[in-house]
Structure 1
Amino acid sequence: MGAQLPSARGKGRRAPMADINVTPLVDVMLVLLIIFMVTAPLLTAGVPVNLPESKAKPLDQDQEPVQISIDEKGAIYLDNSEVTEAGLGPLLEEIAAKRGEDKPQIFVRADTRLQFGKVMRVMGELNRVGLNKVSLVTTPVDGR
Structure 2
Amino acid sequence: MGMNVGSDSTTEDEGIVDINTTPLIDVMLVLLIMLIITIPLQTHSVALDLPQGNPPPSSAPDPEVVTVKIDFDNTILWNGSPVTSEDDLQNRFRAAAAAQPEQPEMHIFPDRLATYKTVAHVLADAQRLGITKLGIVGHAQFSEGQ
Q: What TM-score comes out, normalization by structure 1 length? A: 0.50
Alpha-carbon RMSD across the aligned residues, in angstroms, is 2.1
Deviation at 1:64, TM superposition (A): 3.0
Comparing both chains, which one has the higher relative contact order based on Cα–Cα distances under 8 Å and sequence gaps of 6 or more? 1
Number of residue equivalences = 80
Deviation at 1:99, TM superposition (A): 2.6
- Quote the residue 2:96 is aligned against: 95
Q: Provide structure 2 residue ranges, at least 5 long, that are not aligned to the other structure.
A: 1-60
Contact 1:107 1:136 survives alignment (8 Å): yes
- Quote the residue 1:71 is aligned against: 71
User: Where does 1:38-117 land on structure 2 (aligned, <5 Å)?
Assistant: 62-86=62-86, 87-99=88-100, 102-117=102-117
> C-alpha deviations, 1:47-96, integer Å up to 9, x for none?
xxxxxxxxxxxxxx932311000100010011011003411001110122
SS at structure 2 position matched to 1:98: coil
Q: Distance in 1 between matches of 2:128 and 2:94?
A: 9
Q: Distance in 1 between matches of 2:136 and 2:63?
A: 17
Q: Does 1:131 align with 2:141?
A: no
> C-alpha deviations, 1:102-136, integer Å up to 9, x for none?
22211000100111110000001100111121111
Q: Distance in 1 between matches of 2:85 and 2:116?
A: 15
Q: What TM-score comes out, normalization by structure 2 length? A: 0.49
Identity, in percent, stands at: 25
Q: Distance in 1 between matches of 2:64 and 2:78?
A: 14
Q: Distance in 2 between matches of 1:90 and 1:99?
A: 16
SS at structure 1 position matched to 2:74: coil
Runs of 4+ in 1 over 4 A off after TM superposition: none
The amino acid of 1:128's aligned partner reads R
The amino acid of 2:95's aligned partner reads E
Q: Distance in 2 between matches of 1:66 and 1:78?
A: 7
